[in-house]
Structure 1
Amino acid sequence: MSQPSKWPLPPESSRFVLPRKIVAELSTHPLSCGLYPMGFGYYQQASNHAMLRRTHDDYLLIYCLEGYGELTLDRSNFTVQAGDMILLPRGVAHAYKASDNTPWTIYWVHFSGNQSESFIDYLAVKQTNYIVNVGIQSRLVTEFESLLESRQSSYNLAAFIHAANLLRQILTHVALLQPLAKQQRAAHHFNLEHIHSLMQARVHEQLDLDTLAEAASLSKFHFVKKYKELTGTTPINHFIHLKIERACHLLDVTTKSVNEISFAVGYEDAYYFSRIFKKVMGISPSQYRRMRVGAYPYQA
């Protein structure tokens, strides 16, 4: 794997490099040898993030959610903005950095496999700059978040075979999104996908109306009005529902305590989280978990 950046990792960002033993197993397993991740992460507003690679021995994907960055290839500079995806093949020397004034927020994946080049060809990545615009897509953000969740199983091969196929899903999804992104750019309308993607990326934190309105380039009043016209609900109410949806997922697939899940979806007060959960779901988090194993009825 190419050397990852040494950018100091703040608490709201994440970086995970797969153990070499797992990478070796993925490279030979019939369900993953075609395409598998070697490392991945999420960098939020990555001020001073920069990387120079004269030797690049794997494949690299960077998906920009917010802000700006710059990609340098053979002394040519290209601006990277929200909605852009960099797809760099093996062997392409490069440098990139976050904007000084508006640093990017990105997902990134280093990957390899004997079908990696075929995916690059399938997505018709131009050799002039290796940047494709897919727009800001909330479903794509959800797929990246699912990929990041696999880092919790450091030595579980099954989890990383699943991660390899999530990566395959992401790249095939990109092919579907490219024409849709062109339509979005042509329309120049309120970009609801951008707002929902921001919510998905920050579902483990708090997110206020000021930040959302700024992302839409509107005042808070006009942002809330426009959002409600399009969705029938308020942005904060939708964000709360996303948090509860994520909490339900964690209650389903992990053994984390209610306190841990509360913290994982951005609530420091577990009692307050439980009140919000019950308001949305009609039952408490512990009752929801018992319902999953048949120890609590679906209906009262």
Structure 2
Amino acid sequence: MDYIVTVFRIQKLPELKRAIIMSQPSSWPIPKGSMRFVLPRQIVSQLKSHRISQDLYPLALGFYQEARDHSMSRSRHDDLLLIYCVKGQGSLRIGKLTYKITAGDLVVIPKDVIHSYEASTNDPWSIYWVHCDGILLNEFLISLNHNLQSPVSPIGLHPRLANDFESLLDLRKTTQQFTAYLHASSLLRQILTHIALLKTQQQHQFDQSFNLDAIHTFMLTRLHESLDIDTLAARANLSKYHFIKRYKQLTGSTPINDFIRMKIEKACHLLDITDQRISEIAWTLGYEDAYYFSRSFSKVMGISPSQYRNIRLGRATYKE
């Protein structure tokens, strides 16, 4: 897999240099099979002000294959750096702590974090990497559940995620069109949200003390009932307090809210495929009071059950 290395020389643009500060790039010589792509400063300035891309946009990106002797040390860091290791090993140092990096690990280094990293001498890493910025950078970090004390996350090797990075690298083939850079910003957003999903799934797999899938299966088989926290906590062999806390850590929601959402999803299905009266559907889902069911439905869906059915019958639109 050969890559073309593109170098941009920006001259006599002091106003852009002042407006756009980038972390010092690595001086590591790019060998065959690797690539580094730096976005032109003028393009970065446009992405920074464009409404589609200003939330998140790339500054530089690349792929280093078996990057022997690759190392970097930054005393100033003014963007977000992502490194996804797909082969080999390396290490990261932040402050007095050193973190080992192996295949399947994701490294997240936010702004203003002084750091250094290097490839292993005996088993040099292969990595995708991207420097990025944007006005919603902190919100994306929150979605990644990033913890500065744990900058390395073992998310595993995922071909789809590698393909996402490859798609981002294809930007170098269409550099004459600004729409290509807008598309790259959207791809970068997709990569970060994909990583957030992978981290959540990985956390579920490693948490042997809390089987979330089993809890959700139990909920789905009890949609006709009225479950309470005590029953769900007992199912998970936890106290009510620890059950709620653990559930919310993993899902961002509460178990009862998710149980209600499951009921309403089932109600939507029944409204779509049957002609049952709303009161009958309410009874099927454990609601003795059809009015209370309608209130719960409206709270989740934003419309009443009858309005939802009217959409199926062509009497209403999605936006009404």
* TM-score, reference length from structure 2: 0.56
State which of 132, 139, 157 in structure 2 corresponds to 1:118: 139
Answer whether contact 2:23 2:76 (CA < 8 A) is retained.
yes
Aligned to 1:39: 60
Question: Does the 8 A contact of 1:73 with 1:129 survive in 2?
Answer: no
Task: Give the match for residue 112 of structure 2.
Answer: 91
1:93-112 superposed matches below 5 A: 93-112=114-133
Q: CA deviation at 1:134?
A: 1.4
In structure 2, the CA distance between the partners of 1:124 and 1:186, relative to structure 1 (3 Å rule), is: closer
Deviations 1:85-107 (A, max 9, x none): 11111100000000111011000
Residue 80 of structure 1 pairs with residue 94 of structure 2: no
Q: Write the letter of the residue equivalent to 2:190.
A: Q
Report if aligned partners of 2:64, 2:128 keep a CA contact under 8 Å in 1.
yes
CA apart distance, 1:153: 2.2
Instruction: Tell me whether 1:133 sits opposite 2:154 in the alignment.
Output: yes
Which residue identity is paired with 2:92?
L
- Which residue identity lines up with residue 57 of structure 1 in the other structure? D
CA shift at 1:129, angstroms?
Answer: 3.3
Alignment partners' CA distance in 2, 1:27 and 1:40: 17
> CA shift at 1:133, angstroms?
2.0
146-155 or 79-88: bigger deviation: 146-155
Where does residue 174 of structure 1 map in the other structure? 195
The percent identity for this pair of structures is 45
Pair 1:10 & 2:35 matched: no
Following superposition, the deviation at residue 184 of structure 1 comes to 6.5
Gaps of 5+ in 1: 188-300
Aligned: 1:20 with 2:57: no
Q: 1:50 to 1:158 in 2, by over 3 A?
A: same
1:11 Cα deviation (Å)?
Answer: 1.4
Unaligned runs of 5+ in 2: 1-21, 209-320
Question: What pairs with 1:133-212 in structure 2 (closer than 5 Å)?
Answer: 133-182=154-203
8 A contact 1:125–1:131 mirrored in 2: no
Task: Indicate the SS of the match to 1:7.
Answer: coil
Deviations 1:120-166 (A, max 9, x none): 11111111131222110010011100000011222421001000000
What residue is the counterpart of 1:65 in the other structure? 86
* Alignment partner of 1:30 out of 12, 35, 51: 51
Which amino acid in 1 is paired with 2:192?
A: L
Scaled by the length of structure 1, what TM-score is found? 0.60
CA contact (8 A) 2:90 2:118 kept: yes
| Off by >4 Å, runs of 4+ in structure 1 | 182-187
1:237 is matched with none
Give the Cα–Cα distance (whole angstroms) in 1 for the partners of residues 189 and 154 of structure 2: 18
| SS of alignment partner, residue 99 of structure 2 | strand
Which residue is 1:268 aligned to?
none
Please state how far the C-alpha of 1:76 moved relative to its aligned partner: 0.9
Question: Is residue 22–residue 157 contact of structure 1 (8 Å, CA) maintained in 2?
Answer: yes
The code of the aligned residue for 1:42 comes to F
SS in 2 for 1:132: strand
2:170 and 2:139 map into 1 onto residues whose CA distance is: 26
CA distance in structure 2 between the partners assigned to 1:66 and 1:182 by the alignment? 22
CA deviations 1:207-265 (Å, max 9, x no partner) are: xxxxxxxxxxxxxxxxxxxxxxxxxxxxxxxxxxxxxxxxxxxxxxxxxxxxxxxxxxx
Give the CA RMSD over aligned residues.
Answer: 1.6
Work out whether residues 145 and 196 of structure 2, in 8 Å CA contact, stay in contact via their aligned partners in 1.
no
Relative CO higher for 1 or 2, CA cutoff 8 Å, sep ≥ 6?
1
